Amino acid sequence: MYYHCRELKYVTYGKVFPPPLPKVDADFDVAYQWLGKYCGFYPQIWLSRSQSWITGIRSPRNIPNKILFGFEPVQGFPVSFQHWDYLLGFLLSGKNDPEIVADLDAIVRESEAEKEELGEVLTAWKNSSGWEDYLQRYVFVECDQVVVPSLNLKSAKQITCRNEFQKKKLRRMGFIKDRISIRKMRTF
């Protein structure tokens, strides 16, 4: 199952697109642009594969207004959460690809000199044969996330909301009653 979380006010019965560019989270914009270079579209809609927590559904911010949509199957551009999360630090600080490569090499050298364990991401980097190989073998692989340019919410197989008010609103939009469930979701 692939999951997508969206605030109720942005839910429509049909195709949805990423937020307009001025609404994209300014802190992450540079990273989304970088990803767009590789996937071919920007901004992106993110979906989590089999792990709803990655979607932000349990985030303390705006909890009452979020709806979780579950889809099967979804064809999208794969992005490994673990490697994406590691690269974000470099991307958010404005590093370009050659600078990231230099930093990764330096971190591996320092860790090995200190006899520190590299961890999965740095081990993957060390075992790759360069930037493009690393991206193809470790970053752009389908393990837990995909990005898409648009998403048809009415094709969701599962819809999870938090209360009867949200369920009624979703029903009035046209979503199928048997696919909507109410569930209390805890925060982190």
pLDDT digits (tens, 9 = 90+) for 109-122: 999 999 999 999 99
Q: Region 30-47: what's the mean pLDDT?
A: 95
Kindly report the pTM of this predicted structure.
0.86
CA dihedral 50, 173, 148, 26 (to 10 degrees): -100
Contact (CB, 8 A) for 16 and 153: yes
Angle at 39 between CA 47 and CA 97, to 5 degrees: 115
Residue extents of the structural domains in the chain: 2-79+142-182, 81-139
Range from 4-8, 21-25, 86-90, 104-108 carrying the lowest mean pLDDT: 21-25
Question: Which residues are CB-contacts of 136 (< 8 A; sequence separation ≥ 6)?
Answer: none
| Mean per-residue pLDDT of the chain | 90
- What are φ and ψ of residue 35, in 5° steps? -60, -40
